[in-house]
Amino acid sequence: MRRVVFNQKGGVGKSTITCNLAAIGASAGGRTLVVDLDPQGNSTRYLLGDTADEVDATLADFFDQTLNFKLNPLPTDEFVHPTRFDNLHVLPSSPQLEELSGKLESRYKIFKLRDALEEIEDEFDAIWIDTPPALNFYTRSALIAADRCLIPFDCDDFSRRALYALMENVEEIRADHNRALEVEGIIVNQFQARASLPRKVVGELIEEGLPVVEPFLSSSVKIKESHEHATPMIHLDARHKLSQEFVALHQRLAGDKGAAVRRKG
Mind giving me the DSSP string for 114-139?
HHHHHHHGGG-SEEEEE--SSSSHHH
Query: Is cis: bond before 215, omega within 30 of 0?
Result: yes
List the domains of the chain with CATH numbers. Answer: 2-259 (3.40.50.300)
Gyration radius (Cα) of the chain, Å: 18
Distance CA(70)–CA(43), nearest Å, equals 29
CA 7 to chain centre: 9
pTM over 0.85: yes
Tens of pLDDT, residue by residue, the chain (265 residues): 999 999 988 889 999 999 999 999 999 999 999 999 999 999 999 999 999 999 999 999 999 999 987 768 899 999 999 999 999 999 999 999 999 999 999 999 999 999 999 999 999 999 999 999 999 999 999 999 999 999 999 887 778 888 999 999 999 999 999 999 999 999 999 898 888 888 898 999 999 999 999 999 999 999 999 999 999 999 999 999 999 999 999 999 998 444 333 333 3
Q: What are the distances in angstroms from CA 172 to CA 6, 106, 140, 145?
A: 14, 20, 10, 14
CA dihedral of 206, 210, 213, 214, whole degrees rounded to 10? 10
